Amino acid sequence: MREESDCRSRWELPSGAPVLRRTLCGLAQPCLKQPQHTPRFIFREATLLIIASGQLDLDDGVDRKTVESPSSLVLVESNTCANLQKTPGGEERLFRSIFLTLSPDLLDAFHRSRLHALTDETSPVPFRLVPLDDDLASTLRQVLDSIDVQRVSDERLRYRLLDLLATLAERGYRFGRLGQHGTSGRLRTLIAEAPERHWTAGEAGRELAMSAATLRRRLADEHVRFEDLLIDVRMHHAMMLVQTTTWSIPRIAEACGYKSRARFAERFRERFGYLPSTVQ
């Protein structure tokens, strides 16, 4: 019992509120009192997960994984789409996880620094379980402790994140090479950094140094509509906020760029199949 308590406290973050360190990583701590099913959740960035309490089932239609212990680290490849089932459990009777995303820029820098060591070009599976030994756990803990501390500079945090990737690589685990991000990838990153802004194709085009017409044409070449991408980014942000904060629904709606609570709730239900107020 003592060992279980120590393991749980090891992965207790000081705050569940999401933190974004631009061009490096993002960190959140989803926490739920009731079971939740999230259909077609898209991990846009490479993600590391620890299930600190409860159980997580991931199903991408081909493979299925069940994780119910903080003794394993889950590696999820970027752009993985999976159905998620989160079930509270453990002494806390909660579902609680650590959700660490890694930016494409960081992964690209890691791959470029290790070209001589990367000989395996096979496509990695969407998600893998990595045994969390003491050395890997210590390296990960240092990264987590550094993200929400302003006195740790971006430069120092970058080195610690690269050290974490190197620690995983030593054990035979690495994220796959990223392809070209394309216009849709650049746009998604732009909107994700400020989902509350009143984004239009013209506004986004100016930020990306192109006209609205050029932006829409390039997105069409990638079979993406500006409006669909905008909603998708905002709804994924909304799902993270309802799971990690105690904010009211109107406040979450505003943080996702909606002045109307009803409109926000409608969009959320269209995407996930239930209202944001039911997520607890």
By C-alpha distance, which of 266, 24, 29, 65 is closest to 164? 24
Give percent of the chain with pLDDT exceeding 90.
71
**Residue 104, C-beta contacts closer than 8 angstroms, at least 6 positions apart:** 45, 78, 178, 181, 185, 189
- pLDDT value of position 123: 58
- pLDDT value of position 182: 86
To the nearest whole number, what is the mean pLDDT of the chain? 89
Supply the CATH classification number for the domain 2-170: 2.60.120.810
Q: What's the longest Cα–Cα distance across the chain? A: 61
Q: Estimate to the nearest angstrom the gap between the alpha carbon of 66 and the chain centroid.
A: 18
Q: Pull the structure tokens for residue 156.
A: 């120092």
- pLDDT value of position 117: 57
Cα within 13 Å of Cα(140), Cβ side: 29
- Per-residue pLDDT band for 231 (boundaries 50, 70, 90) equals very high
Question: 182-278, what's its fold?
Answer: Arc Repressor Mutant, subunit A (1.10.10)
- pLDDT value of position 14: 58
Q: Specify the pTM.
A: 0.86
pLDDT digits (tens, 9 = 90+) for 25-34: 999 999 999 9
Asked if the domains at 2-170 and 182-278 fall in one CATH topology, the answer is no
Domain segments of the chain as ranges: 2-170, 182-278
pLDDT digits (tens, 9 = 90+) for 119-164: 454 557 899 999 999 999 999 999 999 987 777 899 999 999 999 9
By C-alpha distance, which of 137, 129, 140, 131 is closest to 67? 129
